[in-house]
Amino acid sequence: MDNDSSIAQIAAILREEAARLGPGARLPSSREIMRRHNVSPVTVSRAIGQLAAEGRVVTKPGSGAFVARHQRPVTGREAADLSWQTVALGDRVVDEGPVAALLAGAPDGAVPLTGGYLHPGLRPDRHLAAAAARAVRRPGAWDKPPLTGLSELRRWFAGQTGGDVTAADVLIVSGGQAALTHAFRALAAPGTPVLVETPTYPGALAAAKAAGLRATAVPMDVDGVRPELLAEAFAVTGARVFLCQPTLHNPTGATLPLDRRRQVLQVARAAGAFVIEDDYAHYLTEQPPPTLASMDEHGTVVHVRSLTKILSPSVRVAAVIARGPAAHRLRAGQLVESFFVARPLQETALELVGSAAWRRHLAAVHAEIRLRRDALAAALATHLPAGAELHLLPAGGMHLWLRLPADLDEGALVEAARRNGVLVSPGRMYYPSEPPGPRLRLTHIAAAHLAELTEGVRRLGRAFAEIG
């Protein structure tokens, strides 16, 4: 039962175990604690959270909970008892773990084969600084912007999306993650299902869960989501929203062919459903295919496009493109939740994408992606055992998706990799339900250079040998 007494009991047991194990030691996994004491995941999570609040343990997403090396000093007074909040907050949980893991920085000396942003050496920081300097000198740069975004910026996003999309269809929001959150809340009622590709982006799964939606998996192959199974999923679940990444899908790298794009639109149209098109990788390939939004004639597609991946984590500027009542609800949702995106940031983005530096930056990143993708694939072929296979070699993007031998312990491999100084993303976090087997997502764009990529794969190879 998830109540104060059971949480307190588990917390007390873990305090004793932490004292016995000593600083830096890893506590038993949540699954092991649940098995030993016959308690729920919520009870375990809250007990560990209580110890973390006391400064006794440190949680590391994807790795577990560890006894803190430096305990909080005793102040002479008893710590405040905040356990009452567990009753007031109820059982709803916002699971930030997968997103926190993706955003976490690499420790000194570790090679990051994780993450979703350009290495600082690849970012156009100098050009961004120049664009920002020009932007803040614009008349009215610090005024309240139009609530849907600067008209020039909306017009630019519309032109980039293609088809008959106009500036009136575009809403500027604070980054792609915010765009997904707005879309989920606007298009689906809490408690209803939402269809997602499997595997899929963990941040989308977290946003859907936070919106009270039930993510239901739709299988993929090397060409992306399978339209016949999408139709079946709509029929079985009654869902009215499907989230997809048709270009350079995260994590598999699959890109939907043109005929499948048409089929997906037809299936969604027949189901009376929306398609959220997360076009996060549009600028991470030299020749992106036509967007679903450019092919949409019925207001089926809600298109999401961000500048964050191609520029910088702090350029939180994205567009949500929609028509009809859905567009009105999206705009109303943003207005109620956050008013608008800061005008200086919008002005900076507009300055940069309108300059020659934008085109040069795109060309440089595309060339670097080709080099890094091929170097990572070659290193994997050289240093990993034969049972580890690439899903496919994508035509761009930041990631490679690796299938592991069926009998391999994915969690043990991720932990062994960490001990050997390389960070990788466990495949389990990309699945809304049980994964079909062990997987890893490997990122090539966060490392400093090609030599570091190769070194990271060597360390991963040592981790394989340790647990093999």
302 lies in the same domain as 422: no
**Which is nearest to 313 in space by CA: 127, 117, 115?**
117
88 lies in the same domain as 110: no
- Residue 270's pLDDT is what? 96
User: Is 151 in contact with 140 (CB distance < 8 Å)?
Assistant: no
In a domain, 319, yes or no: yes
In a domain, 454, yes or no: yes
388 lies in the same domain as 308: no
CA dihedral 449, 454, 455, 457 (to 10 degrees): 130
Distance CA 176, CA 285 (A): 18
344 lies in the same domain as 329: yes
Task: Say which CATH number the domain at 43 has.
Answer: 1.10.10.10
User: Is 3 in contact with 41 (CB distance < 8 Å)?
Assistant: no
Task: Look at residues 288, 323, 351 and tell me which one is the last residue of a structural domain.
Answer: 351
User: Residue 439 belongs to what H/E stretch?
Assistant: strand 439-443
Tell how strand 193-198 and strand 241-244 pair up. Answer: parallel
Token code pair at residue 437: 């087997």
In a domain, 134, yes or no: no
342 lies in the same domain as 379: no
Q: Which residues contact 414 (CB under 8 A, 6 or more apart)?
A: 62, 63, 424, 426, 440
Q: What is the pLDDT along the chain (468 residues), one digit of tens a residue?
A: 445 667 888 888 888 888 888 888 888 888 888 888 888 888 888 888 888 878 888 887 667 888 887 665 545 555 677 777 877 887 777 777 777 777 777 888 899 999 889 999 999 999 999 999 999 998 899 999 999 999 999 999 999 999 999 999 999 999 999 999 999 999 999 999 999 999 999 999 999 999 999 999 999 999 999 999 999 999 999 999 999 999 999 999 999 999 999 999 999 999 999 999 999 999 999 999 999 999 999 999 999 999 999 999 999 999 999 999 999 999 999 999 989 999 999 999 999 999 999 999 999 999 999 999 999 999 999 999 888 999 999 999 999 999 999 999 999 999 999 999 999 999 999 999 888 999 999 999 999 999 999 999 999 999 999 987
* Number of structural domains in the chain: 3
250 lies in the same domain as 295: yes
Strands (E) across 90-238 are located at 111-112, 170-173, 193-198, 214-221, 224-225
Task: Say which CATH number the domain at 216 has.
Answer: 3.40.640.10
338 lies in the same domain as 365: no
- Residue 19's pLDDT is what? 83
User: Residue 304 belongs to what H/E stretch?
Assistant: strand 301-306
**Which is nearest to 37 in space by CA: 149, 102, 29, 312?**
29
163 lies in the same domain as 286: yes
- Which residue type does 18 have? A
Token code pair at residue 187: 């298009």
- Residue 264's pLDDT is what? 97
265 lies in the same domain as 169: yes
The alpha-helical segments, DSSP class H, found in 274-426 are 292-295, 325-338, 343-353, 356-383, 410-419
60 lies in the same domain as 195: no
In a domain, 135, yes or no: no
In a domain, 453, yes or no: yes
User: Burial, 176: exposed, middle or buried (Cβ in 10 Å; 0-12, 13-18, 19+)?
Assistant: buried
Task: Say which CATH number the domain at 442 has.
Answer: 3.90.1150.10
Distance CA 178, CA 304 (A): 10
Task: Look at residues 351, 382, 412 and tell me which one is the last residue of a structural domain.
Answer: 351
In a domain, 279, yes or no: yes
> What CA–CA distances, in Å, run from 24 to 66, 73, 322?
6, 17, 50
Q: At what angle do helices 125-135 and 356-383 cross, to 10 degrees?
A: 150
Distance CA 241, CA 239 (A): 6
What radius of gyration, in Å, describes the C-alpha atoms of the chain? Answer: 23
CA dihedral 303, 307, 312, 313 (to 10 degrees): -30
pTM assigned to the model = 0.81
At residue 320, the 3 state secondary structure works out as strand
Token code pair at residue 330: 């999206």
Task: Look at residues 351, 381, 403 and tell me which one is the last residue of a structural domain.
Answer: 351
339 lies in the same domain as 366: no
In a domain, 335, yes or no: yes
Token code pair at residue 425: 């993303």
- Residue 290's pLDDT is what? 96
- Residue 145's pLDDT is what? 95
Q: The domain containing residue 429 runs over which residues? A: 102-123+358-467
333 lies in the same domain as 424: no
Per-residue b or e along 269-288, where b marks 16 or more CB atoms closer than 10 Å to that residue's CB: eebebbbbbbbbbbbbbeeb
Token pair 């408690």 in the structure block, residue = 191
The alpha-helical segments, DSSP class H, found in 162-210 are 176-187, 202-210
